[in-house]
Structure 1
Amino acid sequence: MTNIKGENFIADIHQLDVKGSGQAVVWRENEHGNPKKLKLTIPYALPGEKVSVTVERPWVRRWRAKPEEILQSHPERIEPVCPHFQKCGGCVWQHWDYSGQLKQKTNHVKQAIEAQGFDPSLVQDTVGMEDPWHYRNKMEFTFAPDGTLGLHEQGNFRNIISLETCLIAGKNMVEAAMEVANWALDHKLPGYNKDTHEGLLRHLMVRESFATGEIMLALFATEAPNSHLENAVNDLSERIGKKVPNVKSLLWLENTEWADRTQAAKTHILAGRDFIYDEMVGYRYRLWFDTFFQTNPTQAQKLVEIALEMGQPKKTEKMIDLFCGVGTFSLPFASRVAELAGIEIVETSIESAKRNAEDNDISNTYFLAKDARLGIDQVLETFGKPELLLLDPPRSGAGGKVMRRIGRSKPERIVYVSCNPDTFATDIKELIPFGYKLEVVQPVDLFPHTYHVECCALLTYVGE
């Protein structure tokens, strides 16, 4: 092993990886004068760019480093507008013109399905946003040990960047978060130290309904709001009530676990109720602090509308909604079919789905808390064969066993909603031996300035 401190390379970015970082290959000689390949991952570099980068250990096979200088820039490169860009991990593509981001997302979906043998021309252009800023209706901020509130530094989970702004979060959410940040500093309340496991304040979750205007503030702390915190807690309630009147749910959540997650052993309602109301496609939903709901309501509504257009639900049909969550797709589809069965492994989500159906006067639904594959079997026994099946699995996909079970049940039409083009492509390949044909894939951008892309696809049964 050599003692070289570092070596500079000129790298040509030939593609992006699945997390939006540039990929390059350079060659260097080893101690015997033989050529060796070095694969570079270079965040914030764009395809076709030529960049200068220093590799601290050039004898390794792979290295990750930020570009020191852009020697030849992409024509769509722009100046990022957020002061936190390249520091926090919320955005990775603010330096890329939005039209370029959309083209890259379309190409990602095309490459994913082509790799599994499908025709890439079935992929439509990605549906983007007119205004790709302030689109998120949920954010999680973290307290540093000194009590400041902010976001995790990219690549350094223990360092918190003090919050000045967030250009992808709703403006009212940022204002509400700043009020809590100022309150914590005024009362000199310590943040949680991940190394010593000491401190009071851990996280702040902010949710906002863009439809109703209601806001939830959920403060995660290592202890209950006991008597020695009475003055601080009362002040928080008064401040929020005066300065952010749209907060309809102010919560103090106890989290004594070492794991750095927004979980709670006990919930204390400081003001309002323990949920807020949201709306989508004309249906009302209750959202608790741990409810999964699409974080971009503008684009999520488009996604639901696209799914409805693809699925063509009919009043004479039965339908299964697999991985149904709290009923985001279930409710609008249930209003258009004879019967709908929703399956979801998370019991609290199923309880929410039942409550949301009741709130919207929808009575033709049946919700089952069960693993997807076993749930399908149980529903088919009691419910019968569906003409239409929709699935919206997690990023890991539905998996071969679930997809083959779907194939054997032979619904006429399958609508697959995915947040991961790669697992989507491997999943739908499982349906081909059962007689299904991929008709169309429509990507939708729910996360501007990030590499994530959702897509909605239609498969029809054409016979084995």
Structure 2
Amino acid sequence: MKRIAPITKNEYIEEAHFEDLTHDGNGVTKVDGFPIFVPDALPGETGRVKVVKVGKGFGFGRLVERHSDSPFRQEPPCPIYSECGGCQIQHMTYEGQLQVKEKNVRDVLERIGKLRDLPVNPVLGMEEPWRYRNKAQVPVGLQDGRLVAGFYQKRSHEIIDMDHCIIQYEKNDEVIQKVKDLCADLGIQPYNEQSHKGVLRHIMTRTAFTTGEVMVVIVTRTKALPHKEELIKGLTQSISGLKSIVHNVNGKRTNVIMGDDTRVLWGEEVIHDSIGDVKFAISARSFYQVNPEQTKVLYDQALAYADLQGEETVIDAYCGIGTISLFLAQKAKKVYGVEIVPQAIEDARKNAALNGMDNVEFEAGPAEVVIPAWYEKGIKADVLVVDPPRKGCDEALLNTILSMKPKKVVYVSCNPATLARDLKILEAGGYRTKEVQPVDMFPQTMHCEAVARIEWEGDPHVSDD
């Protein structure tokens, strides 16, 4: 039976009570159980709301007047926070952010995973939750005849021009500004999304926190980069620590930032960074965590849950460039890493060599194909680690885990909803989730990572839903 919304567009909720936050930071109020999502409202607050949109299962509102404030409300320190779509919860104190993230992880594990008595620890946060991102990538456009670069405005593709971002490492701000100014001075034309004309689409920079090495990536629509030599000269003379200038070509009509054609214009193909005692070579296309301080916290937690004694065989599914694999290899007898992206596997092998680790092997291919093939060769994991993308584990991989029955599974998740879904499947197959540790990798946003410790008990669990 079709549900009829208890409220209509343009109607007012005179005394809305906000009880939660959505994944994109909107406050949640309900009318007869029907949720209305309202920007700039925090849990525990009340206010007057105008309903601006009503859908089948939820609506959207605008906060007309706030009647009470959350104890966690603060003035956002960023001057363009109200316009920019880069952060969602700067108007909330960091203490409040950690509390709401813990609640969200706990709630989703209960609602989707049916894991009601599961220990969920307080979120591991940062001492200084600003200036943590080692990578910046900003779109470029033309406004009022001048080149601009910044993040997109909320719910639009309108660029908010900026000269600094307080969640980016200061060096990235400096580099972006110098690239922007130089391209403007040289008359390099910004890309126009509507007409699919122009040259400069994105500016990307990476700064290695431990070495200070800097990479600049210039993404263009065209294969030719105008004023290439002047650009290289200007960048090398003005940016300290610069080790690499890379040109990427993306000629497609797409929201994807980088294209397939990548070439080094100047310097080296990689920059180098470390997480703990493990060194990494990072290319323009490498997936490398953007918050190195919290990455160590996350990987230390995964290592603690694996509880390696030096005699174990470990399989790392979704291994990327080998970041977790090499952390595990410090304690394991042998680590096997698998990743579907061949370039990532090449990087992983180089990183193993860079660290002198010969107890780790990498193979390119789908985890759900490669791991059973290893199993047939007699390679059986004592501990299996998964760090999947936001969509979670492939169903075939979950079935592979249930067939192989490793004693321990350590699940590193960037999406609590798919973590909960996958844990429910593993629990039904005989595993027990012992503990979950959330880790805040992205302060000022609603994103939260989590690590789950899972052990084989052989007693299939049937949920009561």
Q: Same fold (TM over 0.5)?
A: yes
Structure 2 CA distance for aligned equivalents of residues 281 and 57 of structure 1: 49
Structure 2 CA distance for aligned equivalents of residues 189 and 384 of structure 1: 54
Structure 2 CA distance for aligned equivalents of residues 249 and 52 of structure 1: 53
- Is the 8 Å Cα contact of residues 388 and 412 (structure 2) preserved in structure 1? yes
Distance 1:224 1:77, change over 3 A: same
Give the partner amino acid of 1:195.
Q
Question: Structure 1: 5+ residue runs without aligned partners?
Answer: 28-36
Q: Match of 1:77? A: 73
- Is the 8 Å Cα contact of residues 6 and 58 (structure 1) preserved in structure 2? no
Q: Match of 2:436? A: 441
Q: Match of 2:151? A: 151
Give the partner amino acid of 1:209.
A
1:49-198 correspondence to structure 2 within 5 Å:
49-56=45-52, 62-115=58-111, 116-146=113-143, 147-157=147-157, 159-198=158-197
> Secondary structure of the residue that 1:19 maps to in structure 2?
coil
Q: Match of 2:413? A: 418
> Secondary structure of the residue that 1:378 maps to in structure 2?
helix
Structure 1 CA distance for aligned equivalents of residues 210 and 55 of structure 2: 55
Structure 1 CA distance for aligned equivalents of residues 247 and 437 of structure 2: 41
- Is the 8 Å Cα contact of residues 52 and 62 (structure 2) preserved in structure 1? no
> Secondary structure of the residue that 2:142 maps to in structure 1?
coil
- Is the 8 Å Cα contact of residues 215 and 244 (structure 2) preserved in structure 1? yes
- Is the 8 Å Cα contact of residues 420 and 453 (structure 1) preserved in structure 2? yes
Structure 2 CA distance for aligned equivalents of residues 256 and 399 of structure 1: 31
Q: Indicate whether 1:402 and 2:397 are aligned.
A: yes
Superposed CA deviations along residues 133-186 of structure 1, whole A, max 9, x for unmatched, are 0101112101113421111111012x1000121011100000100111111222
Q: Match of 1:9? A: 13
Structure 2 CA distance for aligned equivalents of residues 404 and 273 of structure 1: 42
Structure 1 CA distance for aligned equivalents of residues 220 and 87 of structure 2: 27
Once the 2 structures are TM-superposed, how far is the Cα of residue 93 of structure 1 from its aligned partner? 0.4
Once the 2 structures are TM-superposed, how far is the Cα of residue 60 of structure 1 from its aligned partner? 8.3
Question: Structure 2: 5+ residue runs without aligned partners?
Answer: 1-7, 460-465
User: Under a length normalisation based on structure 2, what TM-score does the superposition of the two structures give?
Assistant: 0.91
Q: Indicate whether 1:370 and 2:365 are aligned.
A: yes
Structure 2 CA distance for aligned equivalents of residues 14 and 86 of structure 1: 22
Structure 2 CA distance for aligned equivalents of residues 5 and 314 of structure 1: 61
- Counterpart among 424, 427, 430 of residue 422 in structure 2: 427
Structure 1 CA distance for aligned equivalents of residues 126 and 53 of structure 2: 42
Give the partner amino acid of 2:444.
H
Once the 2 structures are TM-superposed, how far is the Cα of residue 120 of structure 1 from its aligned partner? 4.4
Q: Match of 2:291? A: 296
Once the 2 structures are TM-superposed, how far is the Cα of residue 77 of structure 1 from its aligned partner? 0.2
- Is the 8 Å Cα contact of residues 325 and 349 (structure 1) preserved in structure 2? yes
- Is the 8 Å Cα contact of residues 54 and 68 (structure 1) preserved in structure 2? yes
Once the 2 structures are TM-superposed, how far is the Cα of residue 339 of structure 1 from its aligned partner? 1.4
Once the 2 structures are TM-superposed, how far is the Cα of residue 236 of structure 1 from its aligned partner? 2.4
For these two proteins, the number of residue pairs brought into alignment is: 447
Superposed CA deviations along residues 394-438 of structure 1, whole A, max 9, x for unmatched, are 111104332232022111111111011111111012122433221
Superposed CA deviations along residues 53-90 of structure 1, whole A, max 9, x for unmatched, are 33346798743244233221111100000012121111
1:221-236 correspondence to structure 2 within 5 Å:
221-225=220-224, 229-230=226-227, 233-236=228-231
Once the 2 structures are TM-superposed, how far is the Cα of residue 337 of structure 1 from its aligned partner? 1.6
> Secondary structure of the residue that 1:329 maps to in structure 2?
helix
Structure 2 CA distance for aligned equivalents of residues 197 and 130 of structure 1: 44
Superposed CA deviations along residues 217-241 of structure 1, whole A, max 9, x for unmatched, are 1010122345xx23xx333223322
> Secondary structure of the residue that 1:141 maps to in structure 2?
strand
Q: Match of 2:203? A: 204
Once the 2 structures are TM-superposed, how far is the Cα of residue 46 of structure 1 from its aligned partner? 0.6
Give the partner amino acid of 1:185.
A
Q: Match of 1:22? A: 27
Distance 1:275 1:66, change over 3 A: farther
Q: Match of 1:30? A: none
- Is the 8 Å Cα contact of residues 317 and 337 (structure 2) preserved in structure 1? yes
Distance 1:247 1:376, change over 3 A: same
Structure 2 CA distance for aligned equivalents of residues 410 and 60 of structure 1: 42
Give the partner amino acid of 1:309.
A
- Is the 8 Å Cα contact of residues 38 and 60 (structure 1) preserved in structure 2? no
**Percent identity among equivalent residues?**
33
- Is the 8 Å Cα contact of residues 137 and 208 (structure 1) preserved in structure 2? yes
- Is the 8 Å Cα contact of residues 399 and 427 (structure 1) preserved in structure 2? no
Structure 1 CA distance for aligned equivalents of residues 136 and 176 of structure 2: 9
1:31-42 correspondence to structure 2 within 5 Å:
39-42=35-38
Distance 1:82 1:338, change over 3 A: same
Q: Match of 1:455? A: 450
Once the 2 structures are TM-superposed, how far is the Cα of residue 391 of structure 1 from its aligned partner? 0.6
Once the 2 structures are TM-superposed, how far is the Cα of residue 12 of structure 1 from its aligned partner? 2.0
- Is the 8 Å Cα contact of residues 136 and 169 (structure 1) preserved in structure 2? yes
